[in-house]
Structure 1
Amino acid sequence: MDELRKTKQHAYDWLKKKNPTHWSRSHFSIRSHSDMLVNNLSESFNKMILEARGKPILTMMEIVRTKIMLLIVKKKEEADKWKGILCPKIKKKLDVNIKDSLRCVPSHAGGDKYQVECGLGSQHVMDLVQNSCSCKNWHLTGIPCIHALAVIHVKNEFPETYVQTCPVRGLKQWAPLSNMLPILPPLLRKPPGRPTKVRRKEPDEPQTIERLSKRGVEMRLKDIKLVFEPSNRLPQVSKRVPQLNKVPQVSYLLPQLIKKLL
Structure 2
Amino acid sequence: MYPVAYGFIASETTVNWTWFMEQLKKAIGDPPLLAICSDACKGLENAVKNVFPNAEQRECFYHLARNFKKRFRGFIQIYPAARAYREEIFYDNLAKMLSESSEAVQWLQANHKLLWYRCGFNPDIKCDYITSNIAESFNNWIRSHKDLPVADLADKIREMIMVLWHKRKIIAYRLPEGMILPAIMVQLRANTRGLGHLKIVKCSNWSAEVWDHSSGVSVRHIVKLEQRTCTCQEWQHTGKPCQHVLAYVTRQRGIDLEQFVHDYYLVNRFRAAYGREIEPMTDKTQWPKVDLPFLVGAPLAKLPPGRLRKLRIKGWMEGGHKKKGSKDGKFTNEMEGEKGCDNDTAPTNAKGKKMIRGPMTCKRCGEKGHRQASSKCPLNGTAKKRKRRQPRKNVTIQPAEPSTPRRPTREEILRDSPGRVTRSMLATLLGEGTSSQVDTNSPVRMPTAAAPKKMTPKRKLHIG
Give the TM-score category using the shorter length.
Answer: 0.5 to 0.7
Residue 126 of structure 1 pairs with residue 126 of structure 2: no
User: Could you tell me which of 245, 270, 292 is aligned with 1:148?
Assistant: 245
- Structure 1 unaligned runs (5+)? 171-187, 231-262
Question: Which residue in 1 is equivalent to 2:255?
Answer: 157
User: Could you tell me which of 181, 189, 202 is aligned with 1:95?
Assistant: 189
Question: Which residue in 1 is equivalent to 2:375?
Answer: none
User: Aligned letter for 1:34?
Assistant: C
- Structure 2 unaligned runs (5+)? 1-92, 274-296, 322-329, 356-464
SS of 1:139's partner is helix
Question: Which residue in 2 is equivalent to 1:60?
Answer: 153
Residue 33 of structure 1 deviates from its aligned partner by 2.0
Q: Distance in 1 between matches of 2:167 and 2:317?
A: 36
Question: Which residue in 2 is equivalent to 1:35?
Answer: 128
1:137-170 deviation digits (Å, cap 9, x = unpaired): 1111111112222333336301122111215999
Q: Distance in 2 between matches of 1:128 and 1:219?
A: 74
Question: Which residue in 1 is equivalent to 2:23?
Answer: none
Question: Which residue in 2 is equivalent to 1:185?
Answer: none
User: Aligned letter for 2:193?
Assistant: K
Q: Distance in 2 between matches of 1:160 and 1:6?
A: 45
Q: Distance in 2 between matches of 1:77 and 1:165?
A: 21
Structure scoring higher RCO (CA < 8 A, sep ≥ 6) equals 1
Residue 194 of structure 1 deviates from its aligned partner by 1.2
Residue 104 of structure 1 pairs with residue 191 of structure 2: no
Contact 1:104 1:117 in 2 (8 A): yes
Change (3 A) 1:6 1:27: same
Residue 52 of structure 1 deviates from its aligned partner by 3.7
Contact 1:131 1:138 in 2 (8 A): yes
SS of 1:114's partner is strand
Matches within 5 A, 1:220-259: none
SS of 1:151's partner is helix
TM-score of the pair, normalised by structure 2 = 0.36
Question: Which residue in 2 is equivalent to 1:137?
Answer: 234
TM-score of the pair, normalised by structure 1 = 0.57
1:32-66 deviation digits (Å, cap 9, x = unpaired): 42333333322111011123434344322221121
Larger Cα-atom Rg: 2
Q: Distance in 2 between matches of 1:31 and 1:195?
A: 45
The CA RMSD over aligned residues, in Å, is 4.5
Change (3 A) 1:143 1:100: farther
Question: Which residue in 1 is equivalent to 2:138?
Answer: 45
